[in-house]
Structures are given as structure tokens and as C-alpha cells.
A and B are shown apart, each in its own frame.
Chain A
């Protein structure tokens, strides 16, 4: 019995000392880790947005979409929003999710994408990280081209040879991201831009499946929304796999 107590005491002491050391190290490294994370995020934002003067990670809008909160980082020049960056996830990559940041200008034209996380095959699917692939989406928007698919599926975007699944996943995820941006544009660009809200509404009439956005004159969009629930959102998903 005595021995059990001794063993317990020794292990407790060792564990307590370890905990103390770890608490100290954790406290010391908390700030550098937070800085590194923030720098990483800013780096990705810088990569996908046109030059900005503010700190986009301090100027964000958070929206709830399908139970997920999406952060929109707003880059400004002379106080005007010139670009918005946000993270999208492609759930249908070749191996696991592909997370990447999209940057668009205020009219919804892609300014750049930056892959944040993926587990695609090195040398094949991993080429989605390459500049030449990412540049294929630069300057594109929902209306140009209208077919957001890879060439193999009859679309406009050239897939990476040997990595059609990865290319397709990225292409569709960008299209979904752009749709989300169009849908929630008024919220994302912040209050005080009624004239842009109006243009979005006319754009949105052929799409369905979202809750009406608050604080907007929705007489045009609403009846359409209620007529086709659940459509539109799945549209870019026609996978053929």
C-alpha cells in the first residue's frame, strides 16, 4: 500500500513539473503564434486582392451561410472598398477538402485565388497551387464565362492534366463563392450603397434558394425566391462522378 502512494506521488510530481513548464512555454509563445497566424492570413489576402491601404483583417463582415460563418475581409483604398477576400472550401477534391481564399473586386470579378490547405496528390492535384493554374480564374466573373466548368465537362476552364477532379472541385467552389458574394453583396459591402443593392437584385432573379437579405427592397427578388426553393445552390455541383 505504501508503495502505491509513493508511485502516485512520483508521477504526480513529474506531471506537475511538466504542466508548469508547458504553461510557461505556452504563455511565452502565444503571441508569436498569433502573429504568425495573422501574418499568414494577411499574406493570403495580399495575394488575392488589389493593393489596399487598410488592414483587411480588422475590417471584416461575418455572414452565416448554411450553418457556417464566413468571414469577408475588405480591402480599402482611400476609404472605398476595392476588394473583398473570403475563404471557400471545395468538399469534393481528390483527397479531402481544398480550402482557398478568393479575392474579388466590388463588382464580383475574381482578382486572384490562393490555396490555403489541400491534401491533393503531390505533382498532380497539388498543381492547383501553381501560379499558372490560379491565373486561369483571374478577371473572370459569374457572367464571363457563363459556364463554370472545366473544359472536359464542356466548360471554359482548362483542367490540369491528370488532375481533373481537383481542377473541377476548385472551379465549382469558385463559382459557388461568387454566387454567395452576389447574393449577399449588400451585406458584404456594408450599409449605405442602395444603388448596388438594386443591381444585385436584378442579377439575382434567376437564382433561388436563399433567405431574403435583410434591409433590402426585395419586391423584385422575393416572389422568385419563394417559387424555386432549393434550386440554384446545387447548380454548380453537377459532378458526373
Chain B
């Protein structure tokens, strides 16, 4: 794959939130405003790019058996750096993101990219991958944050857009709003993807009809069942 493609994939075809559906904890929790989305997204991007870079450059020295602890130490180091620097220089933002900065350590996107990409690819392309994924994550967070903020508070980036007569739809900045907006956006993105694929005459990234049988995780199991080869529970034991 070309460099450009590695960068672009984070925005659409492998968007961490809407396609891979990873890192949902910070996604749901901090997107009460567009600004929080940017802060969280950029902090994660920094950690992602740095950890990808370090892991790609030392990938040949890390024995397979201890790769996960090695990745986690690397990621945790960069997260702590972000935490300290943000506390010192962007104190207000640090206060509003609070607990979620240390929790970047356990963000699945970062460990996922380390494991699936950086540990198998060269330094340059890993950095590109980190940047693409990070910006894809950031943009997704900002979009969710902006929608929630505009409906729930009548502002975008703290700038009022509806005027004072707007009665804010509080639900949107409360936890349920995160699920509602995420679900709507996921659905909309899938719909757009299906249309795009139809027009281009390629197979869509997702299926039109979705059931358990079409899910990658369960496909093998269902196929076995269809062929009557699925092991029965007592036999399996």
C-alpha cells in the first residue's frame, strides 16, 4: 500500500471509531464539547505516533513473548509525558479531560496499532499510520463533540450558534447523548459507504444486511452449522 493510502485509511476505510469501533471509552466520555474532542484526539495522536515510532524502530529487538508488556511500557511512558506536559502548559484542558488522559494507556487503538502495524512495519510507514489513525480519531471525536455541544448546549467551540432563545437539549451532553450520536453517525456512515460502493461497483466495507451470520467473528461457526459439522456441546467437552 502506498504512503498516501496508509494515511487516508484512518479517515474512512479504517476509521478507528466508526469502522474499527475501538477506543469507545474516551469517545463516549469526553465528547461533551468539540474542544474536549480536539484535546483528547491530539493527545492520543501524539501518543500513537510516538509509540508507533518507538515500537517500529525496536521491533526486531523485542522477543515475541514479551511484546505486550514492552508495548505497554512504551505507551505508558508517552502517556505520562503527555499528562505532565499538559498539566504544566494546558492546565485548563488538563482539568476538563481529567482522568481520561492517564486512561489513554489502555486505549485499544494505540495497543492495537502497535500490535497490528508498528511491530510489523518500518519506522516511516508506522509514523504515517499513527498520524492517519490519530487524525481520523481526532476528527471523529470533534464531530461527535460538536454535534453534542451544539444540541446540548447551543454552542460550538464555546461560541453560541442558536442565540439565547435556544433551549438546550440537555440529554445530548449527558451520557445517553454520546450513545445516540455515535449510533446515528455509525448508521449514516454505513449508509454512505454502501452508496459509494454501489456507485464505484466495488464490494462495500460493510454489508447491507447485517446479521450474526455475516459477522466475521461468527461466520466460521455459522458455516459449520449450515454444513451440519458444528460440534455439539457435550462432544466439544
Co-assembled chains A and B: yes
Interface mask (B87-102 → A, CB under 8 Å = 1, otherwise 0): 1110100000000000
B contact patch SS: helix
Q: Is B85 at the interface (CB under 8 A from chain A)?
A: yes
Whole-angstrom CA separation of A124 from B65 in the bound complex:
51
Quote the shortest CB–CB distance from A47 to chain B (angstroms).
15
Whole-angstrom CA separation of A121 from B74 in the bound complex:
36
Q: Is B228 at the interface (CB under 8 A from chain A)?
A: no
Q: Which of A1-54 contact B (CB under 8 A)?
A: 3, 6-7, 10-11, 14-15, 18, 21-22, 25-26, 29, 31-33, 35-37, 39-40
| Chain B residue nearest to A121 in the complex (CB) | B174
| Chain B residue nearest to A15 in the complex (CB) | B73
Whole-angstrom CA separation of A124 from B77 in the bound complex:
38
Q: Is A240 at the interface (CB under 8 A from chain B)?
A: no
Query: Chain B CB within 10 Å — which of A7, A26, A40, A123 has the most?
Result: A123
Quote the shortest CB–CB distance from B147 to chain A (angstroms).
15
Interface mask (B49-85 → A, CB under 8 Å = 1, otherwise 0): 0000000001001110110011001101100110011
Q: Is B153 at the interface (CB under 8 A from chain A)?
A: yes
Decide: A122 near B81, CB < 8 A? Known: A15-B73, A40-B91: no
Contact of B61 among A10, A15, A35 (CB under 8 A): A10
Q: How many residues of A contact B (CB 8 A)?
A: 25
Whole-angstrom CA separation of A32 from B90 in the bound complex:
10
Quote the shortest CB–CB distance from B60 to chain A (angstroms).
12
Can you show 18 pairs from A to B with CB atoms below 8 A apart?
A10-B61, A10-B66, A14-B73, A21-B81, A22-B80, A25-B81, A25-B85, A29-B85, A29-B88, A32-B88, A32-B89, A35-B88, A37-B91, A122-B32, A122-B152, A122-B173, A123-B152, A124-B170
Using a CB–CB cutoff of 8 Å, the interface residues on chain A facing chain B are 3, 6-7, 10-11, 14-15, 18, 21-22, 25-26, 29, 31-33, 35-37, 39-40, 121-124
Using a CB–CB cutoff of 8 Å, the interface residues on chain B facing chain A are 32, 58, 61-63, 65-66, 69-70, 73-74, 76-77, 80-81, 84-85, 87-89, 91, 152-153, 168, 170, 173-174
